[in-house]
Structure 1
């Protein structure tokens, strides 16, 4: 088996060798007529005595905190990224190019560039780079390398050198009971360099977290055809019976690939020979998985005949900067559930695709986004690049400094210009993505800084409506087939929301509004043990502007912000009933599930699933003689949605109502999108009196005397755009016809999406 894996990796590497030639051939058209020539912008002598402060180069939240200790000057600060400031000319040129690359009427449509061409045309000049490098070296730093995009320099040093060169102290701070390192103030640099430097990404260790729910372990009950849940680990959810949960908490449903293939109609594409074959999907991670998990998953669900492949590796630059090391610990309970989820469920939707598990160690870098950022960035700047990237990690923009956010958006813009389709999970905690597994407090509405780039597609979370509606027998067979599936068709969806803010659950279970449902819950839950913000995330960016393609669909928010999500797929269920099955090292899948398996969910599931759907589209475009790579999917998705939902100002077409997810398979059979209009992602939020901090965007409906038996007096509420009233128009956020903060455009019928996509890219 080990020899087979080695040969597999070699064969994939050989296959990749042809990619750069294709990219170069296309790029000549993309760059035709482009004039981005410019003179060096560092024109003065670099003098360390004449400095300028770069604004917003430290985390705003740090200013309100008292440091617990100063960091020792000897602390290594490895692989920081100096983010370079591109000129207005080159920024504008890149935006124009990407717009043309997504315009079917443009001669530059789907003509992509290489990393070297990106750097030459949209980075900063070699002379300016050399000026910055020389200054870094003069300050005692080690320059590990310049990225091909000519927009960032990888360098290492110590906390003392950072203090000396950038005039900021590195301190330790405690945030939510976790110790962090961060710079205490904005950085300063020689004034001669201020026109070409944004800041340093890597001066704090606030990194995005995996966006999955706490894994559960289930033992299959053949008689009941469900799983009896066990507590997976000490970090799993509270083992007491939740007084708000449904009566089925002692049993759970485990979805298999067949179920999601049926729901989202990828089966129709398999029947056409579209399985993702030849398409490379990279899932970017900061931890390894047991490499035996993937073949076990493929074997268990009979996916081997489709010919998909798998490899786990550490992506490097050429020449290497040394910033991506192997995380290791890929066996037993040390393997990453996130990595397992991403690799297996991208395969579940695209069983013929090549799955690249790209991992970089967090410990090898103090960069803000650690291993996940490094893995993605190195892939995008590599010679051989994937067609698709899925990133299932995130943190709010409120936890992101300017340099780091600039680095993220630059990375994703480069990927788009190169033709790579990027999908990012939007989060698992409602209107603020930073509280996965906990409760929103101390901050208000926010959006995932990893997903708010206009050059990626943000994927939110939905739930199947059958359990709350009592229609399970209509949509699922009473018996399992040979691959353990039971779904009969598309199943109507609602917003994934596990809190009492779930309006559908409140109405269907007890006939109440969500607000009254939450108030009643205080009677049974006086310490707030079951308060949660677990839900699919959505919200407006406070950094990125709304792209033109997002303005033009019915329901689009009338704001100036890049809004999330763009689309949604299954992520979880109210009451913890529905999950997907994973095959892990500790709990490998056995025939007929005679041994326990891991059950999982979250928008970490939604993103790799949509990446798998994109792989089917990419293969179809290639077979039709069109460009294999499609770049960011979002502009095309919104263009197709306008046909079904109508635009932001015109008459509403009949297909808006027809494509409502509530109509089920019969009503939505011809639709590209399932418009999810049920529920919303308004969740619980708290304000702890002892913390002496306020929680904005929260409507408080009660007070808990001693929250969780430990924190003392605490106000509890629901996320809302108004602190004085709570109704469907103020809830943050309610589902609605057309686009919404709860579900974006909704989920998709993959078969119909492919047909519509093919027609769109062929349109003059």
Structure 2
């Protein structure tokens, strides 16, 4: 279409945009009482494709260091991109203010949640501005698939050539870590007339985050030993081959164990099982639907009445951006999906589990199917189609996320909070940088999971049970399994989940030295670095999102301006790979007495759905007292409750800070809501390979591997730290500490005490 024709076509939208301001739709919702966010359109000049403005940070900066592999063909389809709209500062501020009131028990707007339509009409972009943007997209040859009810995103499709022409950026191929990706090579530009209402386009690159679970282990149960024997050889502890007795097998924990450790079993006895609460786990691949009933039957959960549904969530009318990813079979199912569905049920056996899946291949959006599944659920205009709780076990660092995708994520979780949906996100599995998912940090520094750094979700980190390293297993676990294969006797003291030589408790207990010396010793026993790892629960500060006020109020809070992760932590794995949870999969179903091979699994992908299950019990407990079954973001309440136990950010902490130390065990902290984890930390190993010509910041290098993995040549090896010149408890990235920490947030929870304290906080009868 010629430019003059574009100008004529868009003059209609401009005429609409210059009409007087229209007040938002009236609503009887008390949350909107006295709130007026009416405003005039911001597109107030003709849209001229010859006058454009660049939008900063709309391409991935790190690709400047990647290997270019040529441009894509102009005909390449670019399906279901999301044009992210920029709402006005007034509306953004008003939304933030309302969320604070929705979480304040003294406010008249406490727990007065909104619908997606109310979010859109009150806080979204003006209809006239949306019309102008839609008209421009159509004029550029794109197909507009739909505007979301939140009025903050437009789903549209086209080709790489249309993207190049309209947004003045080239879609190219890049090789990163031996994998070819598609991404825009530079920042996008848009007509200057539209600049004020466009953030950017989510969907110009195909860097999809990874599920945050460990590599599953196939095992065979040895009844004589009461242990699971690994089918594949597992590496022994670096620098101390006999540190953990792998020959004796691994420990497979089951729902009963998690229920005992985190005290959900006491709530079942009072009739609280999660009944009536809908937990959605959002995924990009299906699972074999026979797994869940097998899991429920194997572990005695069938009497609680929980349900399971696997489906593809759609908008109304549908944009077509969520198609079935496949995998509903034993051979191609996602272990991540199995883990999320089964262990949300493990903690809330009466809840309704929604497995919401969308295919990655239907979209080039950064978070692909996971983003689409969550976004479509949150924007479902039928209240029955929106869950009470969402759990997402995927992630990537903010350094690997473009500005438009990050904005889309944060807007999505803020909308969920406005609607009362509680969102839990895994913090990551590689210490101070979640992007490596358990592999080795190289070439980048401290980072945080971009999917979790919104102030409207709750990030869940990882812990390990301390009994193995402490030599106290017989105190906390029975030597025989009960009828549902459980052995936990009580709460078990915890430390930060960290499988590297940076594990301070392992260094102390196993070789009576510091973590730094433990790592140096490892160079002797492991000269090629085969056992170097960054596998650990993740935590760190956001470089994008500001610290919410509620995260400043507790003892130990980082004195920074960043949204910090994690908020809480639950079991994710163990040092040396000794303790795992048992999955029932399609290919390896659970058999009575485990007479057939069984899958063991872990990671913060386990922690998040378990915390979602605990929240379901809280929701049901509050609903039974006549309160809302929706609680919105759990984190603000967590920090208020933690302040009562740990003390505020300033002044001397109360005696309950020491009393609630996880090390005190089951009787020492039986009255605590949170178990403060002060052992260990998530400082892990990091490397710098000379042949790659990459500099790894935030790493204290302690040695050199002459030929890393007998392939990469000379490689510096170190521990993640906030200093490159010294390494100790204050520079390690990051050490556990009293109060909140980057290692474990507020620590783990006692579900029974959490409900009691929550009821008191919200003035439940």
Range class of TM-score, shorter chain: over 0.9
Q: Is 1:208 aligned with 2:187?
A: no
CA contact (8 A) 2:239 2:524 kept: no
Deviation at 1:238, TM superposition (A): 6.4
The residue matched to 1:52 in structure 2 has which SS? strand
CA contact (8 A) 1:297 1:589 kept: yes
Distance 2:104 2:666 in 1: 32
Distance 1:377 1:162 in 2: 23
Deviation at 1:332, TM superposition (A): 2.1
Comparing 311-320 with 177-186, greater Cα deviation is found at 177-186
Distance 2:573 2:463 in 1: 7
Deviation at 1:651, TM superposition (A): 2.1
1:392-431 correspondence runs (5 A): 392-431=393-432
Q: CA RMSD in A?
A: 1.3
The residue matched to 1:67 in structure 2 has which SS? strand
Distance 2:363 2:402 in 1: 17
Determine the structure 1 residue equivalent to 2:6: none
- 253, 260, 277: which one aligns with 1:262: 260
Determine the structure 2 residue equivalent to 1:88: 89
The residue matched to 1:762 in structure 2 has which SS? coil
What do residues 708-763 of structure 1 show as CA deviations (whole Å, max 9, x unaligned)? 11111100000000000000000000000000000000000000000000110117
Determine the structure 1 residue equivalent to 2:297: 299
Deviation at 1:243, TM superposition (A): 5.2
Determine the structure 1 residue equivalent to 2:316: 318
Distance 2:705 2:181 in 1: 29
Q: Is 1:247 aligned with 2:244?
A: yes
The residue matched to 1:499 in structure 2 has which SS? coil
Distance 1:309 1:211 in 2: 25
Q: Is 1:332 aligned with 2:333?
A: no
Q: Is 1:741 aligned with 2:711?
A: no
Q: Is 1:30 aligned with 2:28?
A: no
Deviation at 1:177, TM superposition (A): 1.4
Determine the structure 2 residue equivalent to 1:446: 447
1:210-609 correspondence runs (5 A): 210-231=211-232, 244=240, 246-250=243-247, 251-382=249-380, 383=382, 384-609=385-610
Q: Is 1:155 aligned with 2:153?
A: no
What do residues 373-426 of structure 1 show as CA deviations (whole Å, max 9, x unaligned)? 000000000122000000000000000011000000000000000000000000
Distance 1:738 1:708 in 2: 39
CA contact (8 A) 1:105 1:763 kept: no
Determine the structure 2 residue equivalent to 1:696: 697
Deviation at 1:171, TM superposition (A): 0.6
Distance 1:238 1:758 in 2: 46
The residue matched to 2:280 in structure 1 has which SS? strand
Determine the structure 2 residue equivalent to 1:649: 650
CA contact (8 A) 1:289 1:330 kept: yes
Distance 1:571 1:66 in 2: 35
Distance 1:198 1:475 in 2: 53
Gaps of 5+ in 1: 1-23, 232-236
The residue matched to 1:97 in structure 2 has which SS? helix
Deviation at 1:249, TM superposition (A): 1.9
The residue matched to 1:220 in structure 2 has which SS? strand
Deviation at 1:331, TM superposition (A): 1.4
What do residues 24-77 of structure 1 show as CA deviations (whole Å, max 9, x unaligned)? 999711111110001111010000000000011001101233411111111110
Distance 2:30 2:539 in 1: 37
Distance 1:390 1:27 in 2: 31
Determine the structure 2 residue equivalent to 1:8: none
Determine the structure 1 residue equivalent to 2:760: 759
Distance 2:491 2:602 in 1: 19
Distance 1:78 1:368 in 2: 13
Deviation at 1:352, TM superposition (A): 0.1
Deviation at 1:208, TM superposition (A): 1.3
What do residues 330-370 of structure 1 show as CA deviations (whole Å, max 9, x unaligned)? 21231000000000000000000000000000001111110
Deviation at 1:478, TM superposition (A): 1.3
CA contact (8 A) 1:296 1:583 kept: yes
Determine the structure 2 residue equivalent to 1:16: none
Q: Is 1:750 aligned with 2:751?
A: yes
Comparing 455-464 with 170-179, greater Cα deviation is found at 170-179
TM value normalised by structure 2: 0.95
Distance 1:594 1:243 in 2: 35
Gaps of 5+ in 2: 1-24
Deviation at 1:438, TM superposition (A): 1.2
CA contact (8 A) 1:244 1:500 kept: no
Distance 2:480 2:764 in 1: 45
CA contact (8 A) 1:26 1:113 kept: no
The residue matched to 2:246 in structure 1 has which SS? coil
1:131-170 correspondence runs (5 A): 131-170=132-171
Comparing 113-122 with 173-182, greater Cα deviation is found at 173-182
CA contact (8 A) 1:216 1:598 kept: yes
CA contact (8 A) 2:627 2:764 kept: no
Determine the structure 2 residue equivalent to 1:18: none
Deviation at 1:247, TM superposition (A): 3.3
Distance 1:517 1:713 in 2: 21
Determine the structure 2 residue equivalent to 1:112: 113
Distance 1:75 1:218 in 2: 44
In structure 2, relative to structure 1, the CA distance for the partners of 1:25 and 1:57 (3 Å cut) is: closer
Distance 1:616 1:27 in 2: 30
In structure 2, relative to structure 1, the CA distance for the partners of 1:326 and 1:469 (3 Å cut) is: same
CA contact (8 A) 1:227 1:254 kept: yes
The residue matched to 2:588 in structure 1 has which SS? coil
Distance 1:307 1:650 in 2: 48
Distance 2:542 2:148 in 1: 27
In structure 2, relative to structure 1, the CA distance for the partners of 1:472 and 1:75 (3 Å cut) is: same
CA contact (8 A) 2:721 2:732 kept: yes
What do residues 455-484 of structure 1 show as CA deviations (whole Å, max 9, x unaligned)? 000000000000000000000111111000
In structure 2, relative to structure 1, the CA distance for the partners of 1:520 and 1:398 (3 Å cut) is: same
Distance 1:439 1:66 in 2: 20
Determine the structure 1 residue equivalent to 2:20: none
Distance 2:754 2:234 in 1: 40
Determine the structure 1 residue equivalent to 2:611: 610
CA contact (8 A) 1:338 1:604 kept: yes
Distance 1:294 1:186 in 2: 45
Determine the structure 2 residue equivalent to 1:11: none
Distance 2:31 2:378 in 1: 18
